[in-house]
Amino acid sequence: MRSILLILLLSLVQSRSYTLSPNIQLPGESLALSVTDFGATGDGIHYDSTAIQSAIDACNRHYTTSSSICRVTFPPGTYLTAKLHLRSGVLLDVTENAVLLGGPRIEDYPAETSSEWYVVVANNATDVGITGGGAIDGQGSKFVVRFDEQKNVMVSWNQTGACLGDECRPRLVGFVDSRNVEIWNITLREPAYWCLHIVRCENTSVHDVSILGDFNTPNNDGIDIEDSNNTAITRCHIDTGDDAICPKTYTGPLYNLTATNCWIRTKSSAIKLGSASWFDFKGLVFDNITISESHRGLGMQIRDGGNVSDVTFSNMNISTRYYDPSWWGRAEPIYITTCPRDSSAKEGSISNLRFVNITINSENGVFLSGSRNGLLSDISFKNMNLTIRRWSNYSGGLVDYRPGCQGLVNHSATAGIIMEHVDGFSIENVNLKWSDDDDLSSAWNVPLEFRPSTVNNVSFVGFNSGLLHEIV
């Protein structure tokens, strides 16, 4: 298995650099086992779970005795399976024209809580990964109760008593409490719930991965990174219905995450920190990312007392549009918020955010909202072009604070940048333009909206604002 590249971004803007762990050399490969040799049929009809798990376990025994990586290979075919447990030292090699197909029945995920439902999961594994050029498919369409162009209605296994809430469906792939993880050259498609889940892991590389979810399916997240450190994501194509890249903190901090050279389209947030945010986020870099016609662009929903610091967004093209009121958001290209989730929650702070070399085309403006005891501080915009134009028919002026906070609030007019509870905001070389090619231009007349009583230490150098045809 090739070494994991964990130094990704080097000297970004204004002499600021973020460095992850050095390269990790995984043990060399010495054995490959085919699942067909263990009895897998690959006909897509009969379950191959037992044969596949036997191959994985045999590979793990080889790794235990030799310290060498072992491949479990899938020749061309469709391999229907119940939940699989990936082990240390095992590389799933789903070759081109091979599909690993997740079962759609609750009995395919036996005797466990819903948080442990995955098609493929590695728990407490080391030197582990997935590759091969094929696909892992969660058969998400079989979990749709009613197809709807606005938002699909999904099955929920809570009716069986197996779990609580309305998100009781299996995730596609998970790595939990694992170390030295690499996922590359693979397509992850049609998850019933979240697609790729990285939980409390150290040293993870995700590269050259295509994630293809249903654009109308809720909770169809692309990559959820939870309480994990030293994570690198690059050259990924993510087209899905819910948050595309979503760091969260439940049980510990998250630091040293880079995401670079990716293309994203989603009906929710392309990049979102939170809303689970009990612990800190620190040292995150997002660079050279294209966000295409997404419901929201760059978001932070800090709701549980964790703090965010030292985050850079750079070299991006962002296009956001409003899809439907059943989804959170109002097409904000940048949405940074902190407030308590409820009366029992703490207020976290957000500091030292840099937005550099970003081009935005959006139906809404930027929303920067701290809270009384959770300020946004030291935020900078540099070399940015924001164009606001409307191509859907939603009513303007509504600001979406959800989850928690104030819900939906009517601000009457669409502002280019809304600020509240901010201490330290600098703009350098920023152009804000809004379209006058429709009869709604009268509602687009507020470049900046803020109350001086809650916003301090603001600096503008080279800020231009006006109608689209007036700025050259």
User: What is the residue range of 428's domain?
Assistant: 243-471
Question: In this structure, what DSSP letter does residue 50 have?
Answer: H
Which amino acid, one-letter code, is at 224?
D
Q: What share of the chain is helix, strand, coil (3-state, %, to 5)?
A: 10, 50, 40
DSSP code at position 23: P
- Which pLDDT does position 24 carry in this prediction? 43
- CA separation for the pair 242, 342 (Å, rounded): 23
Q: What is the pLDDT along the chain (472 residues), one digit of tens a residue?
A: 544 434 333 333 333 333 343 344 456 667 999 999 999 999 999 999 999 999 999 999 999 999 999 999 999 999 999 999 999 999 999 999 999 999 999 999 986 678 899 999 999 999 999 999 999 999 999 999 999 999 999 988 887 777 777 788 999 999 999 999 999 999 999 999 999 999 999 999 999 999 999 999 999 999 999 999 999 999 999 999 999 999 999 999 999 999 999 999 999 999 999 999 999 999 999 999 999 999 999 999 999 999 999 999 999 999 999 998 888 888 999 999 999 998 888 899 999 999 999 999 999 999 999 999 999 999 999 999 999 988 888 777 788 888 878 888 887 778 899 999 999 999 999 999 987 665 555 566 688 998 889 999 999 999 999 887 655 4
d(CA 406, CA 390): 25
What pLDDT does 27 receive?
65
User: What pLDDT, on the 0 to 100 scale, is given for residue 444?
Assistant: 66
Predicted local distance difference test score (pLDDT) of residue 76: 98
288: nearest Cα among 207, 381, 358: 358
Q: How far apart are CA 282 and CA 352, in angstroms?
A: 10
Residue type at 69? I
What token pair was written down for 411? 């601000």
pLDDT confidence of residue 28? 67
CA angle 407, 409, 412 (to 5 degrees): 165
DSSP assignment letter at 408: E
CB atoms within 10 A of CB 67: 12
In a domain? residue 112: no
Nearest-angstrom CA–CA distance, 184 and 94: 11
For residues 247, 286, 266, 246, the Cα torsion angle rounded to the nearest 10 degrees is 0
- Find, among 431, 419, 409, 414, the residue nearest to 457 by Cα: 419
Whole-prediction pTM value? 0.93
Amino acid 9: pLDDT: 36
**What tokens appear for 130 in the block?**
């997935």
Whole-angstrom distance, CA of residue 395 vs CA of residue 412: 9
- Indicate the number of domains in the chain: 1
The answer to whether residue 306 sits within a structural domain is: yes
Rg of the chain, C-alpha, whole Å? 23
Helix (H) or strand (E) run with residue 145 in it: strand 144-146
Is residue 284 within 8 Å of 247, Cβ to Cβ?
Answer: yes
| Position 77, amino acid | G
Report how far apart, in Å, the C-alpha atoms of 182 and of each of 204, 232, 388, 453 are: 6, 10, 39, 49
Number of helices (H), then strands (E), in the chain: 1, 35
What is the amino acid identity at position 419?
A: M
- Nearest CA to 262 out of 302, 232, 295 is that of 232
In this prediction, residue 238 carries a pLDDT of 98
* H or E segment to which residue 61 belongs: helix 49-66
Consecutive H or E run containing 106: none
DSSP state of 372: T
Do the domain assignments include residue 394?
yes
Helix (H) or strand (E) holding 391: none
361/321 Cα distance (integer angstroms)? 9
Closest CA to 420 of 307, 343, 338, 345: 338
Tokens of 290: 């294209």
Q: Is the dihedral of CA 321, 322, 326, 327 positive or negative?
A: positive
In a domain, 10, yes or no: no
Residue 169 included in any domain = no
181 domain residue, yes or no:
no
